Chain A
């Protein structure tokens, strides 16, 4: 009889059992969904064959919601209810958003994140983004013929914690299990690097609709190591449109515009910008609702002139990323161009001049991020094959710290630290008998707290009264592989323990999300209970499968007694999974996790030992 084969962690146990997973590029202007089919990453199309979904959501008075191409036209006629570029508002307050004065929305400036008043009520950017994600999820499920195990969703590398958390919440609202938040330039590097078997140090210049990232990666033998990243989370192709829009207003001298006319001109500006990437000049001809007429010609040179400062603005982050990586421009082997905005010739010229080499444009700048995300999703879902043996080591883009006396920032985790990372810092009391301490968690590079992004505030209470400076309060930061932070504080010097765990907030509470989930599901005509049950059943089966694989592989690490306990827990969970009670399944999963805790720990230790043992044999031959 043939020996039983056992998969390595992360590798599919049953090759025929392909888990459906997708990569989603949730873009400012357009979004895409891609998957790996027969070993090749492809973008999935809608029923009319289009892969790009415009990131446009329209809330209609009759209660329906339109997403994508259909509401595009309504931008000019129903601007207030037709949300474009919602990504600019994710995890952002009103004061953080540029050009609000030119936007046709009815903003509500709530604490944390801005919201939009629409004909269907007040909407958070998280809800609007969830509509886009839901549309892509449905497209993928229809195209792949089944429910998704999960998705990798890309975010700009320079997104801070609030923006990342908002993106993850949007996925949750859309019913998409998130396998990982992946930085857009890293996703592009995966797609480019694997396709071209690239080795060496590369820069990824990613100018999207509303965000700019520059990441420097070292590609060596299947390891994609991000050395540094920098960027501007509020700079993108939209700003080039806006500049041209202002130029049109200036040149044509039209009267103050209605919301609809403003939107109409903005759309014309975007069309002209796109045309100028292929033609030497573009005509802008619009009849405004006011009866006025705009008739202008803009040349490529004029456009380059009026947007030169924007191109220059991207070079600052490029310099900083190089410095953080300890590299000079001529040490970069290739520059990968990502994002539709990098089609503009004057951007390509500026990049070529800066790096002293022509940038790499032999890939579709609109699709490369989604394709890379799909490759990673395929591996994370457990479909790893032998040849898929790559590893991504990404970094945190912005330093994390705490406010100290005088409104200054004390950095706890420096930018460009490889994820996941944890760091602790000790603080003490300021006054005799002090029993509580307030903490303010911030993100950013500046010295003054007011110049950084405020992520969370929390208090530690129950510190035993002592003289000033005697208490030792240890604050621990942990950033996970998604780049998301959790913070805990505890008093160390006494026997008394007081600790809190904080997730940064940005205006949405867990209750609010639960409420949105409920109404969203009702809206979709779905049964939330059925969904919860299905989710728990899938999770239960997954846990059983993983545990059985582990036992088959490492039975030697188990005592007979332990093995009986684990097998009983499996039997119980299997029984529960065939029932209808999702809470019972959940507790069954937790019970099995407790039963396997010691076993799992020994397995992890073992795999680390064998990793090192392998090393000593070949003595790190490089």
Chain B
């Protein structure tokens, strides 16, 4: 297999290894790479070329997805920096944060049980704003302070927020159906 597992996604996409990212540059690089490796470019060639093209195109898509989503990008940067990424097993969070999470969750549960679509949508937007604030902390920790321990903690907080956001979306979906 020709895919070089040691080459990281930032190198693959020709981007600096940092959290701050210009999405339009990432997207242009994605299109450029796919126009070289996409299976549609190899459909008339022998199977061995098709197979390799699929492997490459798969890796390019996975790289794009990882770099595009802020949370995935941060996790990936920490992984590259050698910081323990066993995030699921290392969830000692501050009591304040856990309290806050419980309050959010209760609000979502209540709105869901009462079928209040408007309330859920408001929660969705409030949570979005909150997530933006947390992400700007993350940008400072990763790109300026290079404080990976603090960044790992922020990543864990973002994972909670992400999960919560999913629950709100699912509740909205369920109410619509």
Q: Which residues of A contact B (CB under 8 A)?
A: 9-10, 19, 149-150, 179-180, 221, 223, 316, 319-320, 323, 376, 379-382, 389, 391-393, 417-422, 478, 480-481, 539, 542-543, 546-547, 589, 592-593, 596-597, 600-602, 604-605, 607-608, 610-612, 614-616, 620, 622
Contacts of A614 in B (CB 8 A): 32
Query: CA of A612 to CA of B35 in the docked complex: distance in angstroms?
Result: 11
Q: A179-B44, A420-B54 are in contact. List 6 more A-B contacts (CB 8 A).
A: A223-B35, A391-B38, A393-B38, A481-B40, A605-B2, A615-B28
Asked whether, in the complex, the Cβ of A418 is within 8 Å of the Cβ of B29, the reply is: no
Chain B residue nearest in CB terms to A540: B46
Query: CA of A319 to CA of B117 in the docked complex: distance in angstroms?
Result: 15
Asked whether, in the complex, the Cβ of B31 is within 8 Å of the Cβ of A478, the reply is: no
Question: Which of A10, A420, A543, A607 neighbours the largest number of chain B CB atoms within 10 Å of its CB?
Answer: A420
**Top 9 A-B pairs, shortest CB-CB distance:** A601-B2, A382-B44, A380-B43, A481-B39, A10-B41, A593-B48, A611-B36, A612-B14, A543-B46
Asked whether, in the complex, the Cβ of B44 is within 8 Å of the Cβ of A149, the reply is: yes
Asked whether, in the complex, the Cβ of B58 is within 8 Å of the Cβ of A10, the reply is: no
B20 to chain A, nearest CB (A): 15
Query: CA of A382 to CA of B50 in the docked complex: distance in angstroms?
Result: 13
Contacts of A9 in B (CB 8 A): 36, 41-42, 45
Contact pick for B33, options A323, A421, A593, A608, CB 8 Å: A608
Q: List 8 A-B contacts (CB under 8 A).
A: A393-B38, A420-B54, A481-B54, A608-B12, A608-B33, A614-B32, A615-B28, A622-B28
Cβ contacts B101-115/A at 8 Å (1 or 0 each) = 000000000000000
A197 to chain B, nearest CB (A): 18
Contacts of A607 in B (CB 8 A): 36-37
Known A-B contacts A10-B41, A393-B34, A481-B39; the reply to A596 vs B48 at CB < 8 A is yes
Asked whether, in the complex, the Cβ of A615 is within 8 Å of the Cβ of B29, the reply is: yes
Contact pick for A179, options B43, B53, B62, CB 8 Å: B43
Cβ contacts B137-168/A at 8 Å (1 or 0 each) = 00000000000000000000000000000000
Chain A residue nearest in CB terms to B60: A608
Contact pick for A600, options B29, B35, B48, B176, CB 8 Å: B48
Known A-B contacts A391-B34, A480-B54; the reply to A10 vs B44 at CB < 8 A is yes
Interface contact tally, CB-CB below 8 A: 131
- For chain B residues 42-72, which have a beta carbon within 8 Å of chain A? 42-49, 52-54, 56-58, 61-62, 64-65
Contacts of A417 in B (CB 8 A): 61, 65
Contacts of B49 in A (CB 8 A): 546, 600
Asked whether, in the complex, the Cβ of A602 is within 8 Å of the Cβ of B2, the reply is: yes
Q: Which residues of B contact A (CB under 8 A)?
A: 1-2, 4, 12-14, 24-25, 28-29, 31-49, 52-54, 56-58, 61-62, 64-65, 169, 173, 176-177
Asked whether, in the complex, the Cβ of A19 is within 8 Å of the Cβ of B44, the reply is: yes
Asked whether, in the complex, the Cβ of B52 is within 8 Å of the Cβ of A10, the reply is: no
Asked whether, in the complex, the Cβ of B58 is within 8 Å of the Cβ of A422, the reply is: yes
Known A-B contacts A9-B41, A9-B45; the reply to A420 vs B52 at CB < 8 A is no
Asked whether, in the complex, the Cβ of B48 is within 8 Å of the Cβ of A616, the reply is: no
Chain A residue nearest in CB terms to B52: A604
Asked whether, in the complex, the Cβ of A420 is within 8 Å of the Cβ of B46, the reply is: no
B27 to chain A, nearest CB (A): 9
B107 to chain A, nearest CB (A): 21
Query: CA of A180 to CA of B28 in the docked complex: distance in angstroms?
Result: 25
Question: Which of B41, B42, B44, B56 neighbours the largest number of chain A CB atoms within 10 Å of its CB?
Answer: B44
Contact pick for A608, options B24, B31, B37, CB 8 Å: B37
Query: CA of A478 to CA of B1 in the docked complex: distance in angstroms?
Result: 16
Query: CA of A272 to CA of B35 in the docked complex: distance in angstroms?
Result: 48
Contact pick for B57, options A379, A380, A420, CB 8 Å: A420
Contacts of A610 in B (CB 8 A): 36
Contact pick for B46, options A422, A589, A608, A622, CB 8 Å: A589
Chain B residue nearest in CB terms to A380: B43
Contacts of A615 in B (CB 8 A): 14, 28-29, 32
Chain B residue nearest in CB terms to A218: B27
Asked whether, in the complex, the Cβ of A611 is within 8 Å of the Cβ of B35, the reply is: yes
Contacts of B25 in A (CB 8 A): 620, 622
Asked whether, in the complex, the Cβ of B61 is within 8 Å of the Cβ of A10, the reply is: no
Chain A residue nearest in CB terms to B170: A447
Contacts of A376 in B (CB 8 A): 40
B9 to chain A, nearest CB (A): 12
Question: Which of B14, B37, B45, B46 neighbours the largest number of chain A CB atoms within 10 Å of its CB?
Answer: B46
Contacts of A418 in B (CB 8 A): 61, 64-65
B170 to chain A, nearest CB (A): 9
Contacts of A547 in B (CB 8 A): 46
Contacts of A420 in B (CB 8 A): 39, 54, 57-58, 61
Known A-B contacts A614-B32, A615-B29; the reply to A608 vs B45 at CB < 8 A is no
Known A-B contacts A422-B62, A481-B54, A611-B36; the reply to A319 vs B176 at CB < 8 A is yes
Asked whether, in the complex, the Cβ of B31 is within 8 Å of the Cβ of A381, the reply is: no
Asked whether, in the complex, the Cβ of A180 is within 8 Å of the Cβ of B43, the reply is: yes
Asked whether, in the complex, the Cβ of A546 is within 8 Å of the Cβ of B45, the reply is: yes
Query: CA of A508 to CA of B29 in the docked complex: distance in angstroms?
Result: 42
Contacts of B65 in A (CB 8 A): 417-418
B113 to chain A, nearest CB (A): 18
Query: CA of A417 to CA of B62 in the docked complex: distance in angstroms?
Result: 9
Chain B residue nearest in CB terms to A481: B39
Query: CA of A462 to CA of B34 in the docked complex: distance in angstroms?
Result: 39
Query: CA of A600 to CA of B46 in the docked complex: distance in angstroms?
Result: 11
Contacts of B46 in A (CB 8 A): 539, 542-543, 546-547, 589, 592-593
Contacts of B14 in A (CB 8 A): 612, 615-616
Asked whether, in the complex, the Cβ of A223 is within 8 Å of the Cβ of B31, the reply is: yes
Contacts of A316 in B (CB 8 A): 176-177
Query: CA of A389 to CA of B41 in the docked complex: distance in angstroms?
Result: 10
